[in-house]
Amino acid sequence: MRLFTVIRAAVVVLAGAVVLGTSAAAAPATSTNRNDDGSKTLTFDVQFSPFELVRSSSTPDPSTGIGVGDQLIFHDLLLVKGKQVGDEGGFCVIVDASQVLANCVSTIRLVGGTITAQFLNSPPPLKELAITGGSGSYRRVAGDGTLLEHGDGTGTETLHVFGVRD
């Protein structure tokens, strides 16, 4: 049971996932605010999905049951005011099994295109994201963001992005 709890905590933390699956083409794209510096703030409610653990390590850490190189795969829903506006999928590779520390890569799919992000993930509920690129309306995007896990299978993802085409 401890292994499941540690893995689940790691995945919930990872699933910040920013952020793939079904997109809601008719739904509003995001909750968006234009900032004085020309950036936009995109805010989503996140519904975390069950995760998939892909074992790569033959020597898991005895205290966590996870090994360096193991991967956590996620696919989460992004919502605004209860309506799905996109989804986010990605994977995290365990880089320190004793801390359940993972390097995560995520793709956020929205009506106008995609946004990619990268972050280090560990058990604390607040994750800091680096925006690494995008496509479509987001093809020149840069910025950063946060993913806050609420501890009940939901979270809030906030992205501060530059370079969004209107």
DSSP string for residues in 102-123:
EEEEEEEEETTEEEEEEEEE-S
pLDDT confidence of residue 64: 93
The pLDDT of 52-74, averaged and rounded, is 95
pLDDT confidence of residue 34: 73
Question: Residues 111, 85: contact at Cβ < 8 Å?
Answer: yes
The pLDDT of 45-64, averaged and rounded, is 94
pLDDT of 89 strictly over 90: yes
- Reported confidence tier of residue 59, pLDDT bands at 50, 70, 90: very high
From the list 139, 161, 156, the residue with the least C-alpha distance to 15 is 156
From the list 107, 116, 111, 123, the residue with the least C-alpha distance to 142 is 116
**26-46 residue pLDDT tens:** 334 556 677 777 789 999 999
What average pLDDT is seen over the chain?
84
pLDDT of 15 strictly over 80: no
- Triad 16, 34, 165: Cα angle to 5°: 80
Amino acid at 136: G
Amino acid at 49: S
Amino acid at 148: L
pTM here is: 0.79
pLDDT confidence of residue 31: 63
pLDDT of 20 strictly over 90: no
Contacts of 36-39 spanning 24+ positions with Cβ under 8 A: 38/162, 39/143, 39/160, 39/161, 39/162
**109-162 residue pLDDT tens:** 999 999 999 999 988 899 999 999 999 999 999 999 999 999 999 999 999 999
pLDDT confidence of residue 124: 86
Mean pLDDT is lowest, of 5-9, 41-45, 105-109, for 5-9
pLDDT of 66 strictly over 70: yes
Measured CA distances, 43 to 3, 19, 52, 78, 83 (Å): 32, 12, 26, 9, 13
